[in-house]
Amino acid sequence: MDERAVFDRFHDALELEPRPGAYERFRADFTNPSVAANRRPVFQLRFSRMGLRVAAALAVVAIAIALVAGYVATHRSTSQVPATHTQTVTTSPAAHSMDPAVALPRDFPKDFPVYPGARPTFVGGDTSFGTTIFTINWETTDSIDQAYAWYQTSLGQGDWTITSKTAGADGDSISFARKSKSSCTGDVVISQRYPGVTQIDVTVCG
């Protein structure tokens, strides 16, 4: 695709007509200090209709869990528990669920290190350069630091070697190459997908 076509496609896809009079509204607010002082806070939380539904569903789930926990606790207290037995209750912070799993392509390189327990959630591929380039996303509930440390080790082993590492605001990334085929390069970008869910975004040659 030539660059002119890319410009045209972006303009076609993203053109969004701003509401008329936006500048005049800003100017009126800005040059009238009493209005500016009373404007809404920067971090106002606005829930969409879907957000409210999700919040309601979460509230129902929380109530259900509380009821079940209460039922279990009541019945446990009446059951036989050895006097020396100590129960340890652990709680984990509420985490967002991961996206649905998808199947990896059959020709995805078998020796590429896949983070243990990670779920593949997106699969893409491109063969327009004479070789296949895969774009795969995995998700894990482990932290960014855990995944990053694991790939730092794993991509320095076998037929893989790390060529550069960067830490950015949008995630940490590791660029790598095959030892046996230096033209085969790729990168791993590790970032937060949702609270409690880490995304591992891999681009690698086939």
Partner 1 sequence: MWFDRGEADLIEAAQAGDRTAFAELLRPVYETALRLAGALLQDADEAEDAVQEAAFSAWRRIGNLREGSSLRPWFFGIVANRCRAVKRNKWWSISRSEPPEAEAPATDLAMSIDLRRALRRISYDERLILVLRYYLDMPYEEIATTLGISTKAARTRVERAIHRLRPIMQVQGAMA
Q: Write out the residues near partner 1 by the rule CB under 8 A.
A: 1, 6-7, 9-14, 16-19, 22-23, 25-27, 29-31, 33, 36, 39, 42-43, 45, 48, 50-51, 54, 96, 122-126, 128, 133-135, 168-171, 189, 191, 194-195, 201, 203
Contacts of 170 (CB under 8 A, 6+ apart): 189, 191
In whole angstroms, how close is the CB of 69 to partner 1 at the nearest point?
Answer: 25
* CA distance linking residue 73 with residue 155, whole number of Å: 47
For partner 1, the closer CB: 53 or 181: 53
Residue 7 or 71 with smaller CB distance to partner 1: 7
What the block records as the tokens of 47 is 């829930």
Sheet containing 160-168: give its strands across.
119-126, 133-140, 197-205, 185-194, 171-178, 160-168
CB 165 within 8 A of CB 148: no
Nearer to partner 1, 26 or 71 (CB): 26
CA-CA-CA-CA torsion sign (93, 189, 171, 3): negative
Question: Least CB distance from residue 77 to partner 1, whole Å?
Answer: 37
Q: Where are the alpha helices (DSSP H) in the chain?
A: 3-14, 22-31, 33-38, 49-78, 144-154
Nearer Cβ to partner 1, position 6 or 65? 6
CB of 118 to partner 1, least distance (A): 17
3-state SS class at 149: helix
Question: CB-wise, 29 or 71, nearer to partner 1?
Answer: 29
C-beta of 157: minimal distance to partner 1 in Å?
26
Q: How far apart are CA 195 and CA 118, in angstroms?
A: 16
Q: How far is the CB of 106 from partner 1 (least distance, A)?
A: 15
